[in-house]
Amino acid sequence: MVDGLRLGVGTLTAVPVPAPRRIDRGVAAVAMVLGPVAVVPLAAAAGLVVVGGAAVGLPALAVAALTLGVVALGSRGLHLDGLADTADGLGASYDRAKALDVMRRGDSGPTGVATLVFVLLVQVGALAGAISAGHGAAAAVAGVLAGRCTLSLACARGVPSARDEGLGATVAGSVPIPATVVVAAVAAALTTLAPGIAWWRGPLAIALGYLVVALLLIRCTRRLGGITGDVLGAGVETATATVLLTLAP
């Protein structure tokens, strides 16, 4: 459990923690299940930026951009990079090997850049809407945590790895289905308590976020043969955008 939490915090955030004593599939499963717990500091920082920005009278759009910038900085831009690489891979050749090679490169092509800009615009615009509606802090916290909740879905039993090495190979199929269900249920239940948001809107946001990630997993499994670390990042960012959009009104 301790090693799993260390792996989760060290992978998903820039918070310095001791390295895990060992890394195996059991530790990887714990890390993915505890992903939302690992990023609680990022969620808290996001909420504080929203509250602080509103307190000094900054425009909602500026506060939203600053909030998401802090989250990106606190996660080293890991998921944003994964989103761009996944988009490039899916938009590349239908040859699986070539698509995976494109994703392995460090640069971003036009498809990746366009996808990154689009998703960030949706996230910023949606969060700005929630801020204007008076529940921006709750939406920001929910978006950050819910995005990481979907990691357990992406790493659930039955989801293959696209490669034989790398982060994806370590975590793919490592999370038991019951654990995935529990994470989703807890997330849906907690969002009913979000201040300023109708009790039903939170669970709806979680359900839609999971649906978007499920569709992404189906697409990546068919095109790439499974998941990679980049696909995990793409899932986090698309789920976050979906949740923020649902909570915007």
Distance CA 23, CA 9 (A): 14
Write out the two tokens for 114.
Answer: 């366009």
Residue located via tokens 């039903």: 200
- The one-letter code for the residue type at 225 is G
Taking every pair of C-alpha atoms in the chain, what is the biggest distance, in angstroms? 52
pLDDT at 224: 92
Q: Under DSSP, is residue 56 helix (H, G, I), strand (E, B) or coil?
A: coil
Dihedral (Cα; 4, 74, 36, 176), 10-degree rounding = -50
Q: pLDDT-derived band of residue 188, with 50, 70 and 90 as boundaries?
A: very high
Q: What is the mean pLDDT of residues 167-192?
A: 93
Domain range annotation of the chain? 2-247
Q: Tell me the CA distances in angstroms from 155 to 49, 80, 150, 220, one per residue in order.
A: 31, 19, 9, 13
Residue 57, pLDDT > 90, answer: yes
Q: What is the mean pLDDT of residues 99-125?
A: 90
For the ranges 96-100, 102-106, 206-210, the lowest mean pLDDT is seen at: 102-106
Q: What is the pLDDT of residues 126-167, one digit of tens each?
A: 999 999 999 999 999 999 999 999 999 999 999 999 988 877
Q: What is the pLDDT of residues 177-187, one digit of tens each?
A: 999 999 999 99
90 CA to centre of own chain:
18
